[in-house]
Amino acid sequence: MAVKDKNVLDYGAEVKKLRQSGPRPVYILRGEEDYLRDSYLSELKKLCLPEGSEAFNYHRLQGPGLDMGALRQSVEAMPFMGERTVTEVRDFDVNRVSGYDPDALRVFLEDVPDWATIIFVFSPGYTPDSRLAAVKAMKKAGEDIAFTSPGEAELLRWVIRRVESLGKKIDPPTANYLIWVCGDRMNGLIPEILKIAAYARGDAITRADIDAVAKRAPETTIFHLTDALGAGDYDKAARLLADLLADKDEPPQKQIGMVSEQFRRLYIARLAADTGKGEGFITACVPELTGKSYPLRLLQRACRNFSSQRLSRAVSACAQCDYAMKDTGGEPEALMKELVLRLAMDRI
């Protein structure tokens, strides 16, 4: 039975709490799932700014070089033709900001006017440093919400509803496959679902439809690459490597890290299989797989193509490649090719 990941945000519960309790003075909206973040932001603005009042009572400031005087002026402005004001602050680099007294910021945030709400919105990949006084002040003054990818079951239902809204059908196994191929970021899935639904000729979307037009997530391509290495299909591995290096959205530096992470996961899964420790051991070592039965099953199947000794050497080879890139200034694309060749030659 799948285990619910305690780190997965219950988006519905957060929206329900917002509607029942009303807006707080300060919000920190962050995390990788920007689709849910922006949906929550819309709910929050709708609650604070009734129709017709946004033009007068909504203010947007842009970081990272936020002018604290401008922030104070915006927040302290009285509402007009409405009861509340909203100040949205985008990408404020609170981890590096200077030129103001953090204690003064704390005092300011503790005394936000009753009519004002400040919303700090951070892009995916940015995490406010909780050790800093400024971040502590922001969190103490209001609500800190990290928007994670929804749990497997919730995301599956969302994909099925999204497909149905386009006049098509998709069964749960095929929807799981779509998520695995395209990634679990909702903003990334939306254009892929539109493209696949437009391509599909039948009433129901099939795996063949997905394979024909979907853009594969880099993690999926790397899974296929390592799978091809395990199966001894080196021609396929070479084609997949070429696909990866042609993807300019993901630099080789990041691709090397993803290959390293995939072999680490395979090694953990192989150890779990060899020692009879099962899924609990895997998810304890790879928490992001908690509650995600589909990729977990694929990982357990894929690790069977490798011995634990070969995977141990692969993890070591990835670490050496990473060292060569970071500490000796090696050229990332060349190192990526050399790494895959080295992994292919180690067949024992």
Q: What is the pLDDT of residues 62-104, one digit of tens each?
A: 877 777 788 889 999 999 888 999 999 998 888 876 555 666 7
Give the DSSP H or E segment for 146.
Answer: strand 143-146
Output the average pLDDT for the chain: 89
Count Cβ neighbours within 10 Å for each residue of 141-150 and write b for 16 or more, e otherwise: bbbbbebbbb
The residue type at 72: R
Q: Which domain holds residue 60?
A: 11-146
Residues 329 and 262 reside in one and the same domain: yes
262 in a domain, yes or no?
Answer: yes
Strand partners, 30: 146
118: three-class secondary structure by DSSP: strand
Q: What is the domain-level CATH number for residue 122?
A: 3.40.50.300
Strand partners, 29: 121, 145
Residue of 266, 257, 279, 249 lying closest to 307 (CA atoms): 266
Q: Would residue 2 count as lying in a domain?
A: no
**Rounded CA separation 323/318 (Å):** 9
Per-residue pLDDT tens over the stretch 177-216:
999 999 989 999 999 999 999 999 999 999 999 999 999 9
Task: Indicate whether 126 and 175 sit together in one domain.
Answer: no
Token pair for residue 226? 């390592």
Domain containing 244 — which CATH number?
A: 1.20.272.10
310 within domain boundaries? yes
DSSP code at position 3 = P
140 and 124 both lie in a single domain: yes
Measured between alpha carbons, how far is 37 from 29 in angstroms, rounded to an integer?
6
Q: How many CB atoms lie within 10 A of CB 208?
A: 9
30: region left, alpha or beta (phi > 0 left; psi from -120 to 50 alpha): beta
Decide which of 116, 146, 176 is a domain's last residue.
146
Residue 5 in any domain: the answer is no
Judge whether 47 lies within some domain: yes
The answer to whether residues 230 and 338 belong to one domain is yes
Same domain, 140 and 24: yes
Instruction: Tell me whether residue 183 is in a domain.
Output: yes
- In which order are the strands placed within the sheet that holds 116-121? 58-62, 85-90, 116-121, 26-30, 143-146
Residue-wise pLDDT tens digits, 21-71:
999 999 999 999 999 999 999 999 999 998 878 889 999 998 777 777 888
115 shares a domain with 66: yes
> Rounded to an integer, what distance in angstroms lies between the CA atom of residue 225 and that of residue 119?
42
Can you tell me the distance from the alpha carbon of 299 to that of 220, in angstroms, rounded to the nearest whole number?
12
Residue 224 domain-assigned (yes or no): yes
209/222 same-domain check: no
Query: Which among 23, 290, 41, 39 is positioned nearest to 151, based on CA atoms?
Result: 290
- pTM of the model as a whole: 0.80
Residues 6+ apart with CB under 8 A from 45: 54, 58, 86, 88
